Structures are given as C-alpha cells and as structure tokens.
Amino acid sequence: MQKIIHFMMRRKGWILLFSLVFAGIFIAFRTINGPTSVPIAQKQKLLVAIGQLLEEQHYSPKKINDEFSKQVFKKYFETLDNDKTLFLQTDIDALKKFETQLDDEIHGGVDIQFVPALSALYDKRIPEITKLYKEILNNPFDFSTDETLSQDIEKMSFSANETERADRWRKRLKYLTLERYADLLDQRDKSKIDSIAKKTNTDLEKEARAKVLKLMDRTYDRIKVKFNEDERFNSYVNVISNLMDPHTDYFPPVEKRAFDEQMSGRFYGIGAQLKEEDGVIKIAAVMPGGPAFKSGEFMMNDAIVKVGQGGSTELVDVTGYAVEDAVKLIRGNKNTEVKLTIRKNDGSYKTISLMRDEIVQDETFARSVIVNEGNKKIGYISLLEFYADFERPNGARCSEDVAKEIIKLKAEKVDGIVIDLRFNGGGSLYEVAQMVGLFIKTGPVVQIKDRQGKNTLLEDKDPSVLYDGPLAVMVNETSASASEIFAAAIQDYKRGVIIGSSSTYGKGTVQRTVPFGKPLDFFSGRTEFGALKLTFQKFYRVNGGSTQLRGVTPDIILPDPYDYFKIREKDNPASLPWDEVAKAPIQTYEGYETVIKVANEKLQKNQKLNIIKNNTQWLGKNSESAIQLKLEKYKEQQKMLRNTLNQNNALLKLDDEMDMQVLPADKDKFYHNADKAKGERYQNWLKNQKTDMYIDESVKILANMIAEKNNIAAN
C-alpha cells in the first residue's frame, strides 16, 4: 500500500495533467477491433437502442433533450481531450451547431453527424500534436526561469489559439523533463561510477528530454494503433450512459467478457502471465498445467508479436498494446483456438495454436490467517470482491468461501474475527445476503427500490448462525456497493464494529446487463454489439437510509492516506442523490456502544494516527497547488512532499511484524504450491499483511473490545 500511496502522490501532477496524455482515451479502450470498422448504420441503430433503453428502464433517467445534448457535447470533448491540450476553442466553436442536435441523433430523428465530425477533427489534431511535442523536445529547457504549471484542469478553458496551446505543451513537457532531470542530478551526485559522475548538466538535461520523447512516442504510437473510429464511438456511447449515472456503462463484446470474468473469478486463456517492456508484450511466467505450459513452446521473456482467432488467417499486431488489451485478445471461450506469433529470445519467429482452457483466479478469493495479539487469537479474513459464478453448480461463491474460512478459524478456536473489505469494489448482491446470514439468525439485509417505487426486501431466512463471536469489519473509501451493504447490515444489527476511513465509497445503486444484437456463440452471453450495464434499482439499509452518495460511516474512524482524494461517489456530479425509505423491522444484538466509545477516545490520543491525518490533509492541498518549474523551487517543493510521504510511509508500515500465522489447512498453498510463482505470491501477500498498520490497529481494537466486554460482564 505504501508503494501505491507514493506513486499516487509523486505522480499526482502527471496524472492530473497528462494521464498519459489523454485519460479519456484509455478509459475508452473498450474493445479490440480488427481491420474492419462497424458501419455507421449499425452504430446509429445501437445508439437509438441505447437511448431508448436509458429513457425507458433507467432507475432515474435524465430527459434526453437539448440540455442533455449540451452536456454530452461538452463531456465528449473533455473525454477525448482530458487535459485540454489537443483541441482549440475554435474547434468547439466550429462544431457548436451540433450542441443541441445530439438528442435528435440519439432518438434517431437525424443521422449521426457529431461523432464523425469530431473524429475527423481528432485525426487532424493528433499529427499536429505529434509534430509539436517533437519540436519542443528538440530544444533544451531553461530551468532557471521562475514559472509554474497549474494542476487545476477543471478551471481551464480550451486554448484560444495554436500559440496558447503550444505554450501549454511547453510547460507540461518542461515539467516532465524537470522531473527526470532532477532524478538524474541526484543519481549523478550519489554515483561512484565515473561515466555517470562526470556527466554535465547539459548531458543530463538532454538525457531527460530523450526519456520524455520516448514516453510521448510510445503513447502516441499506441493512440494511432488503438484509438480508431470504433473506439471513439464506444467512448461517445459511454459519455451518454455515464451522464445518466456513473455506473451505467456500455460494454462492447470483449469488455463484457472481461466483466463476467471479474464477477465469476474464472476465465479461459492460455495460462501465461504477461508484462510490457518498451511497448512489447512479453511472457512473464508460464503457469503449470495450463495450455501454454503443456505446449512446451513458451519461455519467459518470449515476445508476443501477433494474436489471432481460430479459423482466421489474419492476426492482429499487438505492438504498442497495453497488457490488458492484449489479454482481451488472448482470452476467449473454453475449447476455442487462439493463435500467437512469438519472437523467441534468439530472434526467431513462430506461430503457435493453442486451445483455451479454464484458468481459475483463486488469488482474488477469500483467504484467512490467524493474528496472535497478546493472549487473544484473532482470525483475519481478506475479501477483495463479492464474486459469484452462477453459470455452474460448482462455481466460486464468496459467501461459501468465507464460510469455509470461518470454519477453519473456529477449528483453531479464535477469540474474534476481522473481515477486511478495504479496496473491495462490490459484486453480487445475492452473495451479500448469504454472507450476512453467516453472522445473524434471520432478517432483512437490504431494501431494494425500483423506478416505479416498489420496495422489496432481500432477507436471510436461514436461522442457523455459523459464527456468533466478536466481529470487526474493515473498510475504506474504495469499499463500495456490496461491501457497503455488508458493513451497513452488520452495523445496523449491531452485530459487529465497522473500522475504517471517514466513509465508504457511496455506491447505492443496482445494475443489470442488457445485451444488444445476436449471440456471438452458444456458450457465452456475449452478443455482437455488447451490452449495457444499466442502473435500474437503488438499495437502502435496513435502517432506511441509502448508502448512495454518503456511504457508511464507520463506528471507529482511522485516518486514511486516501481520505482527502476526490474519488468517492459524492465527487461525481452525475451521481444520483441520497434519499431514504421506511425502516425495516429487525432484532438487533447487544451491540458494542461502550467499547466503541472507549476505542474512539483512545484513538484520539494516538499520535501516529494524528500525524497521518495532518499529513494527508497537507498532501490533499498540495496536490491542487501549482507545480514549480524552476529547478531550485521544484527541488524544495519535492523535498517537502518527499519528507511528508516518507513520514506517512514509515507510520503506515509496522517496524515489527505482527505474529501472523498461516492456518494448518493452507500451509501447502503458501509454502508448497505446485505453481511456484503462485506460492511466492501468496507468501508476498502474507509478508505485506504482517506489516499493515491498519490490520494491526483493527486487531488490537477487537482484542481490546473482547477484553473490555469480558471485564464489563465480570463486573
């Protein structure tokens, strides 16, 4: 986690300013197309179908009228040009005639004209920018000039003319070069190697510019290869759907498959881990037992040059692809053929045909360990997703897996259990009810309301309770949807304590997928034009309040390094509002009110957590301040940032590891795994958990609560 925090803060300016030049572009990489393009007539039909579906079935649809059209017009420009360094204001003015026409295009009253017009303009601007950044990077930068670079993109308008646009690019490229130049200066000062120590400032500045040029070339090469007219149209459709609410998304066929894979925890592929090196996709590891392993043809660092499908003689060149995009081509349905052209380490080329087979992503499944805290044994369960594979009778289900972990922990006679839902973005609503049912007798878990206002209850009807002991649930600002339902139910029933950041994410909506077009095959649910993930219901806690926008407020709040970043539902202006319904009658448990109060009082005096809180507030403000482009001022700014980050990182990581033990039933998985790479990843996971300050704090809180409650009972 410390590495993530460091990356987020160190590259904050780069993320906000460039997001690898166009953040919207990479969000829009929804499908992998061959050389053919979808005809405009089919795009028109798809657009009309989606517009009709949004208006007729979305939970709370906005009217698709002239006002909505204006929002789409503005948002699409910003999506294609996230940092406003591509288009000019004259471009927006030139296409202004479409500003109130887009609703008519969505309704099918007129042909699609805006996207082709903007796409043509985009194709004109990309070569201009490629030429511009090369010209700017061809000349040295003067880092003695006192100037700054604003990070507040939202308040910027598009450049009035080419001169203003060129100056924006100069400053941004200067910042990227300065960042690398400062690093090279530090390396030179510390180096004992003559060839490095003797480099002049001029040499290092030139080297820094070369690094930036290489980065920009790779980025724009990828744009030229990947972001074709079909991708831009998919991006446009998502602008329309996301303006209804942030969770209504259009999935082209391949992206829909990736979504299903995430939900089920399984996919069909070749059994090889991939990596990217200098724009080349390479084999990072071959998984024992998988198709690639059985073929005997693949070795580490083999480069994948082309990928094709069975029955097709044409293979797609994946040079410049990101790993996730190459993966979408390689994966498919079970027992289907995939062809890969690889370049071996000796430079020879070979095309290999493989039949895809099932690969289980069990590393995202529930796992548990025991933490010894004083004389207390605390069970710890990590759950990264509420996964569910309903297609098969024996498909992976998180509620069943968590139940298995609880049974193993109970066999070790633990005194309490901590369930970690941090970074858990949700999943199956049904699985939430099943999982809550492991801890309560019977009763409603969540209330669900549809667009007609009909309210239904999702209940646990099984009176059996798998675990009735002390319970804590860890959350943070990325715990969303199903995670929030689980945490809210545990809190409303007073069944356990919720520990975490000031609030969870705040997603209180339910989605379903609606397919478009003919089925692509018999086995999968994919269709020729993909599917729309549509918000059609809203869920509410049993206490009547929605988790939408507000999320769940923990009983015990721990200052969190991400807390002040604008990443929650409430930070998206298109989000649906908070509201409430009537309470559902429930039988609450004894609760932890007294021990929660004691724990919060202790935490207020926790110097380490108070420092993290103050540091995070400062980092949040600093991320919005202008970046210094004068070397000395930049160094000073970076020194303050680095010192603050280093202090946070030191506080977030324990000096002494927790006494964390692998369960006897899991020792082979961790230490004697047939898949050596997987076994090493399990061990790395365990090592990281042992030094996680938040797990340590949560375990201590629960152990103290058990002791305090025992003392209260004894008195």
Q: What is the 3-state secondary structure (H, E, C) of 679-694?
A: HHHHHHHHHHHHCEHH
- Given this model, what pLDDT does residue 332 score? 83
Q: Is the pLDDT of residue 241 over 70?
A: yes
Looking at residue 252, what is its pLDDT?
Answer: 80
Q: Say which residue, 15 or 163, is predicted with more confidence.
A: 163
If asked whether residues 465 and 583 sit together in one domain, one would say yes
Same domain, 239 and 380: no
Domain boundary among 360, 392, 420: 360
Instruction: Please say if the pLDDT value at position 358 is more than 50.
Output: yes
* 253 within some domain: no
Phi and psi at 712, nearest 5°, equal: -65, -40
Instruction: Return the pLDDT at 7.
Output: 30
- pLDDT attached to residue 521: 57
Instruction: Pick the more confident residue, 192 or 484.
Output: 484
List, for residues 619-641, the tens digit of each pLDDT value: 888 888 899 999 999 999 999 98
Is 555:592 a contact under the CB 8 Å cutoff? yes
CATH code where residue 398 lies: 3.90.226.10
Model pLDDT for residues 451-464, shown as the tens digit of each residue: 999 999 999 999 99
pLDDT over threshold 70, residue 58:
yes
Interval 215-235 mean pLDDT: 87
pLDDT above 70 for 667: yes
274-278, 599-603, 703-707, range with the lowest pLDDT: 274-278
Measured CA to CA, the distance from residue 432 to residue 421 in angstroms comes to 12
Q: Is residue 519 part of a domain?
A: no
pLDDT, mean of residues 50-75: 97
**74's tokens:** 């503005």
Tens of pLDDT, residues 309-345: 887 777 888 877 778 788 888 888 888 899 998 888 7
Two tokens, residue 216: 């920009």
Residue 258: band (very low, low, confident or very high) from pLDDT cuts 50, 70, 90: low
Could you tell me where the beta strands, DSSP code E, fall in 337-375? 337-343, 349-355, 357-360, 367-373
Q: How confident is residue 25, by pLDDT bands cut at 50, 70 and 90?
A: very low
Confidence of residue 254 (pLDDT cuts 50, 70, 90): low
Instruction: Look at residue 260 in the predicted model and tell me its pLDDT.
Output: 62
Please give the residue that has the higher pLDDT: either 464 or 525: 464
- 396 pLDDT above the threshold of 90: no
Cross-strand bridge partners of residue 281: 276, 304
First to last CA, the chain: 42
pLDDT above 90 for 271? no
Tell me the β-bridge partners of 283: 274
Instruction: Report the pLDDT value the prediction gives residue 264, as an integer from 0 to 100.
Output: 55
Give the mean model confidence (pLDDT) for residues 13-24. 30
| Euclidean distance between CA atoms 459 and 446, whole angstroms | 7
Residues 6+ apart with CB under 8 A from 66: 100, 103
pLDDT confidence tier of residue 168, bands split at 50, 70 and 90: very high
- Residue 151: per-residue pLDDT: 84
Q: Do 495 and 440 share a structural domain?
A: yes
| Full-model pTM | 0.83
Shared-domain flag, residues 555 and 673: yes
- Which is higher by pLDDT, 363 or 221? 221
Grouping H, G, I as helix, E, B as strand and the rest as coil, residue 267 is: strand
pLDDT of residue 21: 30
Compare 187 and 4 and report the one with higher pLDDT. 187
Same structural domain, 339 and 436? no
Side-chain-facing half-sphere of 230: CA atoms under 13 Å: 19
Mean pLDDT calculated for residue range 152-170: 94
What's the rounded mean pLDDT across residues 63-88?
Answer: 96
Amino acid 238: pLDDT: 94
What pLDDT is stored for residue 566 in this prediction? 83
Q: What is the extent of the structural domain holding 216? A: 2-244
> Does residue 164 have a pLDDT over 70?
yes
Question: Which one-letter amino acid corresponds to residue 240?
Answer: I
| Residue 517 covered by a domain | no
pLDDT tops 70 at residue 71 = yes
The residue among 359 and 702 whose pLDDT is bigger is 702
* Domain-ending residue, one of 312, 337, 360: 360
Give the pLDDT score at 269: 83
Mark whether 380 and 506 lie in a shared domain.
Answer: yes
More confident residue, 493 or 219: 493
**Using one digit for the tens of pLDDT, what is the confidence trace for 132-144?**
999 999 999 999 9
277 and 206 within one domain: no
Distance CA 436, CA 495 (A): 10
- Helix (H) / strand (E) element for 222: namely helix 201-226
Residues 88-101, mean pLDDT to the nearest whole number: 97
Beta-carbon contacts of residue 13 (< 8 Å; ≥ 6 apart):
149, 151, 175, 627
Q: How far is CA 218 from the centre of its chain?
A: 23
pLDDT greater than 50 at residue 85: yes
Instruction: Tokens 């097709």: give the residue.
Output: 312
Q: What value does the mean pLDDT take over residues 514-542?
A: 79
Question: In CATH, what number is assigned to the domain containing residue 285?
Answer: 2.30.42.10
Spatial contact of 64 and 254, defined as CB atoms under 8 Å apart: no
The total domain count for the chain is 3
pLDDT of residue 8: 34
Whether the per-residue pLDDT at 3 is higher than 80: the answer is: no
Q: How far apart are CA 234 and CA 701, in angstroms?
A: 48
Asked whether residue 665 falls in the same domain as residue 683, the answer is: yes
Give 640-652 pLDDT, tens digit per residue: 988 988 898 889 9
Whether residues 372 and 341 share a domain: the answer is no
Q: Which of 70-74, 145-149, 179-183, 269-273 has the lowest mean pLDDT?
A: 269-273
Per-residue pLDDT at 17: 29
pLDDT band at 6 (very low <50, low <70, confident <90, very high): very low
pLDDT above 70 (res 28): no
Environment class of residue 487 by beta-carbon count within 10 Å: exposed (0-12), middle (13-18) or buried (19+)? buried
Rounded-to-integer distance, Cα 416 and Cα 409, Å: 9
Average pLDDT, the chain: 87
Res 126 pLDDT > 80: yes
Whole-number pLDDT of residue 106: 97
The domain boundary residue, chosen from 310, 343, 360: 360
Q: Residues 531-546: what's their mean pLDDT?
A: 96
Residues 649-678: what's their mean pLDDT? 92
Cβ(648)–Cβ(5) below 8 Å: yes
H helices present in 227-283, as ranges: 229-244, 253-264
Residue 676 lies in a domain: yes
pLDDT score at 69 = 98
Write down the pLDDT at residue 18. Answer: 31
Q: Are residues 300 and 235 in the same domain?
A: no
Q: Is residue 259 part of a domain?
A: no
Percent of the chain with pLDDT over 90: 61
Q: Which two tokens stand for residue 84?
A: 């406003």
Whether residue 247 is predicted with pLDDT greater than 90 in this model: the reply is yes
Token pair of 652, please?
A: 């977030």
Domain annotation covers residue 252: no
Q: What is the pLDDT of residues 558-582, one digit of tens each?
A: 998 888 778 899 999 999 999 999 9
Same domain, yes or no: 188 and 287: no
Q: What is the mean pLDDT of residues 150-157?
A: 88
Residues 548 and 623 in one domain: yes
Does 106 reside within a domain?
A: yes
pLDDT at position 448: 96
Residue 451 maps to a domain: yes
266 Rama class: left (phi>0) / alpha (psi -120 to 50) / beta: beta
